[in-house]
Structure 1
Amino acid sequence: MYEKRIFATGTVRRNRIELPNFIKKKKGKKASQKLNKGEYRWRVKDNVSFVVWQDTKEVLILSNVFHPQIERTTVNRTQKDGSNLAISCPLTVREYTKRMGGVDKFDQVKSTYSVSRRSKKWWRRIFYFLVDASITNAYLLYKQNKRASQLSHLEFHVALGRGLVGKYSSRKRRASSMANYVNRKKVLSENYQKAVGSVPLEKRFENVGTHMPVESPSYRRCKLCSTKTHDKRTKIMCRICAVPLCVVPCFANFHTQ
């Protein structure tokens, strides 16, 4: 039966425990003989390989993917005169160099709207990291789906939070007191911008045919076109979104733009 494994490759520091003896520095002795550029030494234990490769600086790599003796290749290095020189190296080094930027991109996206909080308990930090990693991976998969309407990173977080919370609330709140993180309409003037309302995008644009106009008990300001200088009131409201809208053209524009 096929055994599922996690494959990883990464750099380590020289002072990490349980590294091979030839890399450790003993009292009164040098840690290891300095290698020439392109040379490397390695050790393998079970399915984990350790490689010391000499580039401009010393590179130490642990991997459970590549075997340093069997899989070798070359990398190009630019010389002082501008020419390229092919230097021998284990395949581990080239593959690590090719993909190491992914960790930086992941950290950049994850830290933008992180849910992490400071805590003295170590397991909470791990929990927050796993939540952030799950959200980040979900957003990257969403961006690859060309058929989906493209939400920004913030809009994706808000839509995900609303989807997880659903209609649950520990206390009743008026719609006007809810925060408007997204869904802002176009600027009507240079010094005025008004929120469209607290209706989520996934609610406004989902099953538009079910959004039917109903009569409100009193006149209310239109959520789309009413401004401070131009007060527009209507008795028509959307049955699903529960916001007042003029019949023409605000009702159609609100659910399609």
Structure 2
Amino acid sequence: MVPYYGGHGSKQFIRGKPIRWRYKVWVETTKKGYIEWFEPYQGSTTIISEKYRPLGLGASVVLQFADIIQSQCENAPFHIFCDNFFTSLPLLAELTSRGLKCSGPLRENILPDWPLEKSSLFKKKSRGSFDYLLEENQNNIVCKWNDNSVVTIASNLTSPFPTQQVKRFSQKEKKMIHVEQPCLIKQYNENMGGVDRADQNISLYRVGISGKKWYFCLFSHALDMAEQNAWQLHKHSGGKMDHLRFRRCIAAGFLETYKKETKRGPSKPGKYLHYESRYDRMDHLVNYQEKQTRCAFCHKQAVFRFQKYDVALHPIMCFLSYHTKN
């Protein structure tokens, strides 16, 4: 969700949400929160392929994303998890024909006329009870599971088995009890939530600059999404920086790269000058200079100057120590 309080036809108001006035953006992510695809929602003018219109708005969003991932990796075994706004049996049938797996909760008002017990009656059963039906010729399965409330999930997998025991707190017995859970519910819980995680990461450190144009918040949100994705890749490659420090490193790098030269005279450099760029292990190129200047590490005279951050340094004696954190 992109906060916006100006006037625009695509802006939405939803009462009770943390961000009530906002643009809505359809987003597809990994379970860790890496954003793979997004599309701004534009109401009735949202671009939808004509061949997907009979399936509805929710299904068309998923199928457009499926077109993109299959165009890049045609035979990869993707499994798409979506919430109840997008899930429908026609969507599962279409994805099955493409060789894609899909799972998601199903709304009660769009359940097919199958001999499954209604949720109002099913919730009276013991906790952990479940029932399922398999659609003929389509391999679509609809499973109901009674936890705190009745959960209905649809998938194009073949079975809810094997089941597992999960811990839940019983208000009646005032202790933790073991409840049987189908594997469909387990897979959904483990892989869902990437969009919420990405939204949370972005909301913690948004771009603080505001503009008067209606599109400026979308532009700044795109920067936040790109930065959040970069941080996800940093963590995936073994990086140890948290989100705030990673964002500060990016800001410091931009300030060092595009800083303006001042007309003031020479002054003592700050303690944290080039603090981030010194340790990034990138483009530390050295130039020879005729005039000797003091080395930034040992403070002796040096005839070599590093181009990236414009300091003198001995390339053999002081280079490694200067670029290593204590």
TM-score, normalised to structure 2's length?
A: 0.43
Q: Give, in whole Å, the separation in 1 of the partners of 2:286 and 2:296.
A: 15
Q: Which residue of structure 2 lines up, in the alignment, with residue 195 of structure 1? A: 272
Deviation (angstroms), 1:4: 4.5
Q: Which residue of structure 2 lines up, in the alignment, with residue 238 of structure 1? A: 305
RMSD of aligned C-alpha atoms? 5.5
Q: Which residue of structure 1 lines up, in the alignment, with residue 289 of structure 2? A: 214
Deviation (angstroms), 1:55: 0.8
- Is 2:233 the partner of 1:141? yes
Q: Give, in whole Å, the separation in 2 of the partners of 1:246 and 1:141.
A: 33
* Residues 213 and 237 in structure 1, CA contact (< 8 A), matched pair in contact too: yes
- Residue-by-residue CA offset, 1:130-174 (whole Å, 9 max, x unaligned): x7556544433333435x7x555456457768999xx8x7xx932
Query: SS state of the match for residue 195, structure 1?
Result: coil
Q: Give, in whole Å, the separation in 2 of the partners of 1:246 and 1:236.
A: 8
**Residue identity opposite 1:173 in structure 2:** K
Out of 71, 81, 85, the residue aligned to residue 9 of structure 1 is 81
Q: Give, in whole Å, the separation in 1 of the partners of 2:275 and 2:206.
A: 23
Give the length in aligned residue pairs.
215
**Residue identity opposite 1:34 in structure 2:** F
- Residue-by-residue CA offset, 1:156-214 (whole Å, 9 max, x unaligned): 457768999xx8x7xx932899xxxxxxx9xxxxxxx63314883467x4465x43563
- Is 2:129 the partner of 1:71? no
**Residue identity opposite 2:310 in structure 1:** V
- Residue-by-residue CA offset, 1:2-55 (whole Å, 9 max, x unaligned): 6446423355379959721569xxxxxx87423312233445664654433211
- Higher Cα radius of gyration: 1
Out of 145, 162, 165, the residue aligned to residue 53 of structure 1 is 145
Q: Give, in whole Å, the separation in 2 of the partners of 1:15 and 1:110.
A: 28
- Is 2:175 the partner of 1:82? yes
* Residues 236 and 244 in structure 1, CA contact (< 8 A), matched pair in contact too: no
Q: Give, in whole Å, the separation in 2 of the partners of 1:99 and 1:142.
A: 21
Q: Give, in whole Å, the separation in 2 of the partners of 1:22 and 1:236.
A: 84
Q: Percent of counterpart pairs with the same letter? A: 20
Q: Give, in whole Å, the separation in 2 of the partners of 1:15 and 1:207.
A: 53
Is the alpha carbon distance of 1:256 and 1:112 closer, same or farther for their aligned partners in structure 2, counting shifts above 3 Å? same
Q: Which residue of structure 1 lines up, in the alignment, with residue 130 of structure 2? A: 40
* Higher RCO by CA contacts (8 Å cutoff, separation 6 or greater): 2
Q: Give, in whole Å, the separation in 2 of the partners of 1:246 and 1:70.
A: 65
Q: Give, in whole Å, the separation in 2 of the partners of 1:251 and 1:40.
A: 68
- Is 2:111 the partner of 1:20? yes
Deviation (angstroms), 1:74: 3.1
**Residue identity opposite 1:75 in structure 2:** Q
Q: Give, in whole Å, the separation in 2 of the partners of 1:233 and 1:134.
A: 43
Query: SS state of the match for residue 33, structure 1?
Result: helix
Is the alpha carbon distance of 1:95 and 1:234 closer, same or farther for their aligned partners in structure 2, counting shifts above 3 Å? same
- Residue-by-residue CA offset, 1:102-154 (whole Å, 9 max, x unaligned): 55544443444456989867xx58x956x7556544433333435x7x55545
Q: Give, in whole Å, the separation in 2 of the partners of 1:157 and 1:7.
A: 31
* Residues 160 and 184 in structure 2, CA contact (< 8 A), matched pair in contact too: no
Query: SS state of the match for residue 77, structure 1?
Result: strand
* Residues 253 and 277 in structure 2, CA contact (< 8 A), matched pair in contact too: no
Q: Give, in whole Å, the separation in 2 of the partners of 1:5 and 1:21.
A: 28
* Residues 215 and 235 in structure 1, CA contact (< 8 A), matched pair in contact too: no
Is the alpha carbon distance of 1:101 and 1:199 closer, same or farther for their aligned partners in structure 2, counting shifts above 3 Å? closer
* Residues 119 and 150 in structure 2, CA contact (< 8 A), matched pair in contact too: no
Q: Give, in whole Å, the separation in 1 of the partners of 2:77 and 2:225.
A: 19
Moved more, 5-14 or 47-56: 5-14
Is the alpha carbon distance of 1:110 and 1:83 closer, same or farther for their aligned partners in structure 2, counting shifts above 3 Å? closer
Is the alpha carbon distance of 1:47 and 1:72 closer, same or farther for their aligned partners in structure 2, counting shifts above 3 Å? same
